[in-house]
Amino acid sequence: MDNNITTVITTLLSTTQSPESVSGYVGFLCLTISVLFFGSNYLPVKQFQTGDGMFFQLILTLAIWTVGFVVHAIRGFPKFYALPMLGGFLWSTGNLNTVPIIKMIGIGMGTLFWNTILLIVGWAVARFGLLGVKPEVPSNEILNYVGVIFALISGIFYLFVETESSVPEERQHLINAPIAEITTETEISGVLTNVDDDIRSETFFDKLNTSSKRLLGISMAIFSGFLYGFTFTPALYVQDNYENASQNGLDYVFSLYTGIFMSSIVYFTIYCIIKKNKPMVFPKVILPALISGWMWGIANSSFFLASNSLTQAITFPIVSSGPSAISALWGIFLFKEIRGRQNFMILACGFTFAVIGSVLCGISK
């Protein structure tokens, strides 16, 4: 077993061996890591003030880029293609909505919706060869189709789940602390400072009523899902159409991550100009954002590893529906965003369809 894993790792990191020789079980192992990290990467930042999310995204994408550089170095600095940077631009644009989405409908529901759309778009591009990409036909097409349908049905169940936005811990004392307990000048100054931070961090989205937040949050999640779905298309196009292009997806990670980081720098610069050089900056979110970015970078690299041996027609449905279930579980047990017996029953149905869909897509190889 250990010798097999060593051989696989050598194959994946080698610049000369073909990734198709990787065992299927290692592909599923990488896919499991990807699902867990994609479903959990926003947990570190959930309980911190992020304002409008622009500063958070800048730090997040910096961390993502560092993961890409490490992968690029491990791979022996393969040829850099510019086209996959377009995928990074699409992802970065979609990710601008992440913080507002989480604020309006919660981390669980946000991930559920954008991953459902990501599933449709990403799977269709890989399966039918859209936009110049060669089609990837599974061994058992019927099982693959049924698996995708089951995964989509799981997303329909999630539509009827009602969520509650949780309050960051650093704001709880402003709500719960009795006025009588705030007696010293230092305590009063501290409370006033925190109140000022809360007011300063309030955005347009915070002022919406519950119905408007839900409608706008779902709409933004769907839009982001479309952009996420095309993130890997430029890299696939290079693999299928460029002469002597590497067939190992890891060789396009650095290009993709560079596009993500550069786009975020451009967006943050524009944002600073609009805000007249007074951006919302929250120092406490720096470390959580870095951790979140490293998790996403590892998850995405693991996805590339899994796709090397399983093909994206197999991995996309699983990596799209799996994180939705993981993030929903965090929303239930950690953040208490999803409550009530009816919501739990709906989620249980959604999870069941997601699991069945993932299993069917997996065995369709």
Closest CA to 233 of 66, 91, 21: 91
Cα distances (angstroms) measured from residue 7 to each of 15, 19, 59: 14, 12, 36
Q: What is the pLDDT of residues 19-69, one digit of tens each?
A: 555 566 777 888 888 888 988 887 887 777 777 778 988 999 999 999 999
Q: How many Cβ atoms are within 10 Å of 264's Cβ, its own excluded?
A: 26
Q: Whole-angstrom Cα distance, residue 19 to residue 352? A: 32
| The pLDDT of residue 107 | 65
Q: What are phi and psi of 338, to 5 degrees?
A: -115, 120
| The pLDDT of residue 20 | 52
CA dihedral 223, 228, 229, 232 (to 10 degrees): 150
Length of the chain: 365
Low-confidence ranges of the chain (pLDDT < 50): 1-2, 7, 15-17, 166-199
Q: Whole-angstrom Cα distance, residue 131 to residue 123? A: 13
What's the chain look like in SS3?
Answer: CHHHHHHHHHHHHCCCCCHHHCCHHHHHHHHHHHHHHHCCCCHHHHCCCCCCCHHHHHHHHHHHHHHHHHHHHHCCCCCCCCCHHHHHHHHHHHHCCHHHHHHHHHHHHHHHHHHHHHHHHHHHHHHHCHHHCCCCCCCCHHHHHHHHHHHHHHHHHHCCCCECCCCCHHHHHHHHCCHHHCCCHHHHHHHHHHHHHHHHHCCHHHHCCHHHHHHHHHHHHHHHHHHHHCCCHHHHHHHHHCCCCCCCHHHHHHHHHHHHHHHHHHHHHHHHHHCCCCCCCCHHHHHHHHHHHHHHHHHHHHHHHHHHHHCHHHHHHHHHHHHHHHHHHHHHHCCCCECCHHHHHHHHHHHHHHHHHHHHHHHCC
Q: What is the pLDDT of residues 311-331, one digit of tens each?
A: 766 777 777 777 777 877 777
| The pLDDT of residue 313 | 67
Give buried/exposed letters for 233-261 (b at 16+ CB in 10 A, else e): bbbbbbbeeeeebbebbbbbbbbbbbbbb
Q: What is the pLDDT of residues 187-209, one digit of tens each?
A: 334 434 444 444 455 666 667 77
Q: Are 16 and 230 in contact (CB under 8 A)?
A: no
Name every residue whose Cβ is closer than 8 Å to that of residue 207 and which is 6 or more positions away in sequence: none
Through-space distance between the first and last CA atoms of the chain, rounded to whole angstroms: 22
| The pLDDT of residue 189 | 43
Return left, alpha or beta for 294; rule: phi > 0 is left, psi -120 to 50 is alpha, else beta. alpha
